Amino acid sequence: MDAERAHHVSFSALRFLDSLPLLNRLLRLVLARGTRDEVEVLGLPFPNRVGLAAGFDKNGEGVRALSALGFGHIEVGTITAHAQPGNDRPRLFRLRENLALLNRMGFNNQGARQASFNIEAQRRALSALPGRARPIVGINIGKTKVVPGADAVEDYAASARALAPLADYLVINVSSPNTPGLRDLQSVASLEPIVSAVKATAAEVVENPRSTLGHVPLLVKIAPDLNDEDVIEICRLAVRLGVDGLITTNTTIDRDVLNGEEAEFARSQSGGISGRPLAARSLEVLRLVKATVGNELTVISVGGIADARDVRARLAAGADLVQVYSEMIYSGPFWPGRVIRGTKAHGLLAAQR
């Protein structure tokens, strides 16, 4: 089956099962068993340290269903101020030999206004669950494709205006390779006014944030393809502007991370690569960020995580939280719970020693 169609079918099936009162309880009993491992990060009570990265639920339509898999947080998006169809199909490919994905989706989403309705409905659905079963909800915002770079600041601010009241935390995405010119916004000169505008807008529209920080936590998601000097500059900018954290990293445009015939295929296609081949650079960027900022910023590590050992390695390298996505496509719905339980068991053994 076409990879994008398979995604829609599986996601729709999960949402349908979650809508059935008895089956949704069974889902949580089977899939989310033993995943409770509370931690406070960003002034928020995370049920555990492992979350679902942005890209799976682009419109905020299935947060409660996805929480049945055991995730401690779910990041919705990427959402743009205006609805857009994304790039032409096919735009999502499985690279099975490398256990990777190649996508050039292009921020296909229903727009910030419709997403706000979806997420509000999902928050009502989550309120019916016991408090310990409710995940933290992050919202990832990006630039609308047809909006010129010169107008990016207001575009991001418009998304923040609609979505900040529904977000436990917000993420500025300036690192996807699938929107022309987007990665140029990672430069310090371009990023600074965007961060300032989003922070000011969120403060304006959210009087009572859920975080004990006293504001809606704001993070920036960066690319693995930045050179080390640029990573350091973004870290310094984030600290100076009072950004709360960084997400390291987005997909890569580097085809050399792939092996075999799939590498040649990927060189003939545009888009970003995620999955196991991204692990080495993602970990490298995480270590660089931590060496630069220490404990001044929260760091969420994502990219190439295959099992509980990878999660433990990211936490040992300084990550506060970890996100996953691509491996779930290959390992199935039982995989998140196994990873979380494996990470939790290791922590208990370490504490006992």
pLDDT for res 349: 36
Q: What is the pLDDT at residue 351?
A: 39
For the question of residue 270 being annotated catalytic, the response is: no
pLDDT at 269: 92
Whether residue 64 contacts residue 126, with contact meaning beta carbons closer than 8 Å, is answered with yes
Binding site per annotation, positions for FMN = 54-58, 78, 140, 173, 221, 249, 275, 304, 325-326
Q: Over the stretch 291-333, which tens digit does the pLDDT of each residue have?
A: 999 999 999 999 999 999 999 999 999 999 999 999 999 999 9
Confidence band for 177, pLDDT divided at 50, 70 and 90: low
Residue 186 pLDDT exceeds 70: no
Asked if residue 69 lies in contact with residue 332, where contact means CB atoms within 8 angstroms, the answer is no
Q: Quick one: pLDDT at residue 181?
A: 59
Average pLDDT of 51-66? 95
- Tokens standing for residue 143: 């630039």
Domain segments of the chain: what residues?
Answer: 3-341
User: Which one is catalytic: 67, 159, 175, 176?
Assistant: 176
Nearest CA-CA partner of 228 in 280, 175, 288:
288
CA distance 21 to 300: 33
Structure confidence by residue, pLDDT tens digits, 76-114: 989 999 999 999 999 999 999 999 999 999 899 999 999
- Helix and strand tally (H, E) in the chain? 12, 13
Q: Answer whether residue 183 shows pLDDT above 70.
A: no
- Place 24 in a pLDDT band, splitting at 50, 70 and 90: confident
288 pLDDT higher than 90? yes
What's this model's pTM, rounded to 2 decimal places?
0.92
- How far, in Å, CA of 286 to CA of 290, rounded? 6
User: In degrees to the nearest 10, what's the CA dihedral of 285, 291, 296, 297?
Assistant: 10
Percent above pLDDT 70 for the chain = 94
- Select the more confidently predicted residue: 321 or 129: 321
What is the rounded average pLDDT of the residues 341-349? 66
> What are the residue ranges of helices labelled H in 69-143?
112-127
Determine whether domain 3-341 maps to CATH 3.20.20.70: yes
Element (H, E) at 51: strand 50-52
**Which residues belong to the annotated binding site for substrate?**
58, 103-107, 173, 178, 250-251
Q: For residue 182, what pLDDT band results from cuts at 50, 70 and 90?
A: low
Number of C-alpha atoms within 13 angstroms, CB side, residue 127? 6
68 has pLDDT over 90: yes
